[in-house]
């Protein structure tokens, strides 16, 4: 008696499901471990290198889109970490009545994002599996923390740095904040 095609198809089908599941897990792992993006820019005439003292600047109404709530745990954490990192870089927070060399402010924004792509999984050098479903999609929230250094005489932003990363939930976001501040201020010209 000859073997039926159904037993062979059953093996292929099970193998296909395993390959499909492995590809989904690989995609999820890649998305979950995406690196934090950090950038900065120094404006023309900015004199950040010579600054020795700093103070907090208020966030102007134009930045009303900041999604950080004053006095919240995350704002307190960011403030403390910025002060710590500036101290490590030789900047001292001014005392009452003392004129600062720079003013510092920060704000944060979040954005809902959607990524989609055709699911492909390389089985061997010659064989690539493509999902019959076509596309995979995932939605997530992306957060950006921005730090400004401001010239106290002109009110102009003389340096800015920002970090963007996936912000899956409040607990994980709190863990990423210190790393974001460190990476942003590491780019500060000194």
Is 70 a domain residue?
Answer: yes
Whether 162 is covered by a domain: the verdict is yes
Read off φ and ψ for residue 68, nearest 5 degrees: -95, 130
**Is the confidence at residue 118, as pLDDT, over 80?**
no
**Does residue 15 form part of some domain?**
no
Establish if 117 belongs to a structural domain. Answer: yes
CATH of the domain at 68: 3.30.160.670
DSSP-based three-state secondary structure for 35: coil
Distances (CA, A) of 46 to 51, 81, 149, 160, 188: 10, 23, 9, 10, 12
pLDDT surpassing 70 at residue 3: no
42 found inside a domain: yes
In this predicted model, what pLDDT tens digit does every residue of 12-23 receive, in sequence order? Answer: 433 333 333 333
3-class SS of residue 100: coil
Q: What percent of the chain is predicted at pLDDT more than 70?
A: 69
DSSP 16: H
Pull the structure tokens for residue 125: 């050098």
Q: Residue 134, by phi and psi: left (phi above 0), alpha (psi -120 to 50) or beta?
A: left
Residue 80 lies in a domain: yes
The verdict on pTM exceeding 0.75 is: no
DSSP 43-85: -TT---TT--EEEE-PPPGGGTT--PPTTSHHHHHHHHHHHHH
Query: Do 140 and 113 form a contact (C-beta atoms < 8 A)?
Result: yes
Percent of the chain beyond pLDDT 90?
A: 42
Overall domain count for the chain: 1
Contact 131, 120 (CB under 8 A): yes
Asked if residue 165 is part of any domain, the answer here is yes
Let me know if residue 171 belongs to a domain: yes
Highest mean pLDDT among 34-43, 50-59, 178-187: 178-187
Per-residue pLDDT, averaged over 52-56, amounts to 96
* 22 contacts: CB under 8 Å, gap ≥ 6: 121
Domain of residue 98, residue span: 36-186
Cα–Cα distance for residue pair 77/67, rounded to 1 Å: 15
pLDDT in tens, 130-146: 666 666 667 777 889 99
């Amino acid at each position: 008696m000859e073997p039926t095609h159904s037993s062979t198809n059953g093996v292929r089908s099970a193998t296909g499901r395993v390959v499909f599941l492995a590809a989904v897990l690989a995609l999820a792992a890649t998305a979950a471990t995406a690196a934090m993006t950090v950038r900065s820019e120094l404006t023309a005439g900015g004199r950040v290198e010579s600054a020795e003292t700093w103070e907090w600047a208020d966030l102007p109404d134009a930045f009303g889109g900041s999604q950080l709530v004053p006095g919240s745990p995350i704002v307190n954490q960011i403030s403390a970490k910025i002060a710590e990192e500036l101290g490590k870089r030789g900047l001292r927070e001014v005392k009452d009545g003392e004129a600062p060399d720079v003013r510092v402010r920060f704000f944060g924004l979040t954005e809902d994002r959607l990524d989609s792509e055709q699911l492909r999984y390389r089985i061997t050098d010659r064989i690539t599996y493509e999902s019959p479903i076509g596309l995979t999609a995932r939605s997530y929230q992306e957060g950006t923390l921005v730090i400004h250094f401001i010239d106290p005489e002109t009110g102009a932003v003389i340096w800015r740095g920002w970090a963007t990363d996936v912000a899956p939930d409040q607990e994980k976001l709190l863990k990423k904040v210190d790393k974001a501040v460190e990476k942003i201020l590491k780019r500060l010209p000194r």
